[in-house]
Amino acid sequence: MRLIVISFFLLALIGCEGSGFRKIEGANEKATVQSAQEALQQVELALGKYKEINRTYPRVTEVALYDTLRNYFVIPIDANHIYRNEADQSNYIAIGGRKNKLIYRYPATLGSGDYTLYWIGVNGIDEEGRGDDVFSARGKMPKQLSHKLMTNFRGDSLRTEFSLSATGSDFIKDSVKFQIRIGNVPLYSDWWPLGSYIVGRPELSEAERQETVNMEFDRFLHPVHFITVDSLLNERKPSAIAHQLDETVFKNLAKRNLQVFTYYSGSKGLKTIYWNPRERKIKVVALSTK
């Protein structure tokens, strides 16, 4: 009887081979940065091959990424890194355990590349590019220095891309770049020194400086900065934005249910921008100089 059970178990294991996903937990593959980097590079090669053939990157999330790229891997992914999502029977890539996934987004939500690709690290927590999350060695600038958002800012059928990025991490030489565009058509851009976030604060350590910049980038495109004109009209006390906008423009924006976006441009102070439908361009209102 014991021999029969052992034989059955061995047959089950053989049946799992080549299936492309892992059925048995108890990772004999340690989750390491090196193994994650290797998997990330293999995925990048497959993504490049996919785009070469299909002229675009796959519009899926990490849940379906492995199955989508299955026939495009130049170097096959180790079967120990493939897990089955029982909910929809798709296969996903994880390093060292089910919860340690690779994250994929296209268009990019983090970083300055065409897509976002990173490993969530040994702790199994997706920290959106921070903490112990790992980008590939060839990857683009991580999230804390680059951020994107797609929104319906113009009130039409076209999605508008808001992006914030840094030219580098040198607080003396580098700048912050804010851009708005639709596809490849630029609608608005603004620049300010990266160092303006920490000016007058010599007591900050290097780590504290970086964290300050991270926080500024994290909150830049937060939903709270996109304000509907209707909400401004209903305020008991008119805001600085309402005072600055021409009444005709204000009513026109409210009629079209458009938003205004307010942001901090470093030493240039606070600014509000909005889409002017009649002039078909983005207009700027300076709220302060500090």
Tell me the two tokens of residue 21.
């996903």
**Is 137 a residue whose pLDDT tops 50?**
yes
Give yes or no: residues 126 and 165 share one domain. Answer: no
Q: What is the pLDDT, as a whole number, of residue 245?
A: 65
Domain membership flag for residue 3: no
Give yes or no: residues 48 and 136 share one domain. Answer: yes
Give yes or no: residues 213 and 116 share one domain. Answer: no
Domain membership flag for residue 231: yes
**Is 154 a residue whose pLDDT tops 80?**
yes
Domain membership flag for residue 14: no
What is the full DSSP assignment across 228-272? Answer: EHHHHHT-SS--HHHHHS-HHHHHHHHHTT-EEEEEE-GGG-EEE
pLDDT tens per residue across span 273-289: 999 888 889 988 877 55
Tally of structural domains, the chain:
2
Cα 66 from Cα 61, distance rounded (Å): 10
Give yes or no: residues 25 and 124 share one domain. Answer: yes
Cα 270 from Cα 100, distance rounded (Å): 40
pLDDT band with cut points at 50, 70 and 90 for residue 242:
low
Give yes or no: residues 156 and 48 share one domain. Answer: no
Give yes or no: residues 90 and 162 share one domain. Answer: no
The strand order across the sheet containing 134-135 reads: 102-105, 116-119, 134-135
Q: What is the pLDDT, as a whole number, of residue 92?
A: 94
What is the full DSSP assignment across 117-146? Answer: EEE-TTTT---TT-TT-EE-TT----GGGE
Q: What is the pLDDT, as a whole number, of residue 227?
A: 84
Tell me the two tokens of residue 200.
């007058």
Instruction: Check which CATH number belongs to the domain holding 112 and give it.
Output: 3.30.700
pLDDT tens per residue across span 26-42: 344 456 788 898 899 89
**Is 23 a residue whose pLDDT tops 50?**
no
Domain membership flag for residue 211: yes
pLDDT tens per residue across span 35-70: 898 899 899 989 989 999 999 999 999 999 999 999
pLDDT tens per residue across span 215-240: 888 889 988 899 877 666 555 555 55
Q: What is the pLDDT, as a whole number, of residue 277?
A: 84
- Of 71, 106, 140, the last residue of a domain is 140
Q: What is the pLDDT, as a whole number, of residue 2?
A: 42
Give yes or no: residues 209 and 268 share one domain. Answer: yes
Q: Tell me which residue range forms the domain holding 31.
A: 19-140
Q: What is the pLDDT, as a whole number, of residue 244?
A: 64
- Of 108, 140, 172, the last residue of a domain is 140
Domain membership flag for residue 11: no
Give yes or no: residues 123 and 191 share one domain. Answer: no
Give yes or no: residues 209 and 160 share one domain. Answer: yes
- Of 122, 140, 158, the last residue of a domain is 140
Give yes or no: residues 249 and 172 share one domain. Answer: yes
